[in-house]
Structure 1
Amino acid sequence: MFEPRLALASLSGQSDAEWARAADELAGAAFLGGIALDAPTREAARELVERDRDEFLPDDPAGFVDDQLAALEDADLRPGFNVRTTSLEPLRAVAEICADRGAILELNAHCRQDEMCAAGAGETLLRNTDRLREQVAAAAGEGPDVSVKVRAEVPSVDLAETARAVADAGGDAMHVDAMDSEGVVADVAAVAAETDLFVIANNGVRGEATVREYLACGADAVSVGRPSDDPAVLGRVASALDEWVAQKPEVRA
């Protein structure tokens, strides 16, 4: 899906093309966004801004996605865009843009902010597998690689079953925020081995110890969140990945 196996995880209101380009010598992918696509999620994003959270709120979300991806056309990494929506038509429009730009479309089933969950987006999708399947299928139908960003430790949610649902609906990757439950990566990876899902592990990735822990659990790649603008952290992670791949030449493509 991308090489090297280091991704930058989206940080709402901060992860734009300039942020991604600053790390393109070390990262293989960068997930821009997140961005709210439809009226309910845009209203939720406005409410988040009112309580001092960063959000992208362009007048034309699809146009913003296209412009940001165009700005990375010659970057030495693969871009992705993390999106939040409750309806399918704006999702299909942005998925088509991602397909045209060779970018990954990442569905956000991760956000736990009350406003976004009340709108029916974010981690509420983990509790409603039918809606998640519907969004994955709608996005995949437009042709891009589709990732789903998820978090562990959501009550009554089995991420292994979520992974199976994502794969069945045509998804290509699961981006797993382990939330200090690293073993969940192994559960998702076991499903991925049967379904060809690509597994990206996130949470606390800072250097060799965390890289080796997640890859030993079966992850195909790791992602860095908050310190994604710290070259020292990215350098340590990139070096650890290089060492792992050198020792494990059978790592999945």
Structure 2
Amino acid sequence: MTELTMTDDLTVTRDDAVATLTLNRPQSHNAINIGMYRALPGLVAELEADAAVKVVVLRGAGERSFASGADITEFEAERSDAVKAKNYNAKVAAAERALEGMTKPTIAMIHGYCIGGGAGLALACDMRFADTRAKLAITPAKLGLVYSLESTKRVVDLAGPSRAKWILMSGQQIQARRAVELGLVDEVVEPEELEDYTYDFARVITTRAQFSVRAGKEMVRRVLGGQVRDDQETLDLRNSSFETEDFAEGVRSFLEKRPPEFRWS
């Protein structure tokens, strides 16, 4: 495994084509401080630009938590008035947008607590895999805060409007298997299986045609944005796949009855 970047509270490592972005404050259940929110867009940009990286896994350090939320000990200094709160919220939004805006697939690996700001980052990823001990909660109603429209949309897109209201209005902790029923989590496995399950799936994605993987992600993004018919951009995206070496390799490997060896990245 190769270490790419390290800060005090965030680490980025790469194992072949799978990069891992770790929230690294296990002593505080990986509570997310303002420095982490500031650093995340830059780290995500590094991963986006690294041609060797095909999939990114977001996780928390240790075994107790993915992330227990934003670091409440900073609230008085960082969110004590409207101006400070506006600046703080902008940093949070930028971090979540950076994750959501990646062209490469992202997977949140959730163990233990995934609360508040932790859930915000997890929901900005493409997929969420959790262990049976995981607990999720979105908690603005317990703190007298208002969730942003972008963050609310992610909940609605996954859970639907009425369930999103239940999640937001109650702020209750949601057990992993219930989170699957609500649409917040995609897979639940036993704690000792989570890491292998997540990275095995990530490695499967790295063996697929990356043009197809990223184009599929873009098509889903457009559907969630309200597009219901092809426009010239989506037609061009689809038609251009026929001109890639990966398409030629996919056809060759099928006819030759062998696994494909895709090269595009």
TM-score in terms of structure 1 length: 0.36
Greater relative CO (CA pairs within 8 A, separation 6+):
1
Higher helix share: 2
- Bigger Cα Rg: 2
Provide the TM-score with structure 2 as the length reference: 0.35
